[in-house]
Amino acid sequence: MQNTVKQLQARLPAITFVDGTRFYWSPKAQSIYMNSAALGTDEGKWALLHEAAHAQQNHLTYTSDQELLSLEVEAWHEAQKLGSDLGITIDSDHIQDCLDSYRDWLYARSTCPDCTLNGLQIKPDTYQCLNCRRLWQVSSSRFCRPYRMQLKDKKTPSEVAHTVFN
């Protein structure tokens, strides 16, 4: 097992570390999924620390996109503390890039498909435009959207963000 994983496992004995293709925290499975092949890179180690911070804070659910964003900010803050205990410094530009990609994604979700004004989140999966009254549904949000540099082949923000009611 990779050294950083071992150190984190010792700090979080109740959490299962699972090898996979992406980094994310599953509160339901109390598991951290990680891409072991990426752990040799700085970005991979930072991603692992970030997920460990979610696990340590036991981030469970959130009822709005804004709440999710604030949990992401908190997770990066805690990841920096964890990292300094383990001798790993997380680049603050990287953190800002990750949070910016979240903000972009949340902004796209909240944009009215008809008149492009910003809507109000009336339920976890539903927004309403206060201007034209249009309702639209969004996929349930989750921790850890892909980072910006992995979004090269992304669809238009509208395709990603909207499951439109017909």
Enter the tokens of residue 69.
Answer: 């964003």
Site size toward Zn ion (CB under 5 A) is 11
Cα–Cα–Cα angle for 107, 38, 77, nearest 5°? Answer: 50
157 to each of 29, 38, 83, 105, how far by Cα in Å?
30, 27, 33, 7
What's the closest the beta carbon of residue 68 comes to Zn ion, in angstroms? 9
CA distance 60 to 62: 7
68 is a contact residue toward Zn ion (CB under 5 A): no
Smallest gap from Cβ 75 to Zn ion, in A, equals 5
Under the criterion CB under 5 A, does residue 73 sit at the interface with Zn ion? no
Cα–Cα distances (Å) from 25 to 49, 51, 53, 144, in that order, read: 11, 5, 9, 8
Residue number, 4 or 102, with CB nearest to Zn ion: 102
**Stretch 110-139: interaction string toward Zn ion, x if CB under 5 A:** --x-xx-------------x-xx-x-----
CB 114 within 8 A of CB 134: yes
Q: How far apart are CA 1 and CA 57, in angstroms?
A: 24
Q: Is 144 in the site for Zn ion (CB under 5 A)?
A: yes
Taking the complex as a whole, the smallest distance from the CB of residue 87 to Zn ion amounts, in Å, to 22
At its nearest, how many Å lie between Zn ion and the CB of residue 156?
17
Contacts with Zn ion, residue ranges (CB under 5 A) = 72, 75, 112, 114-115, 129, 131-132, 134, 143-144
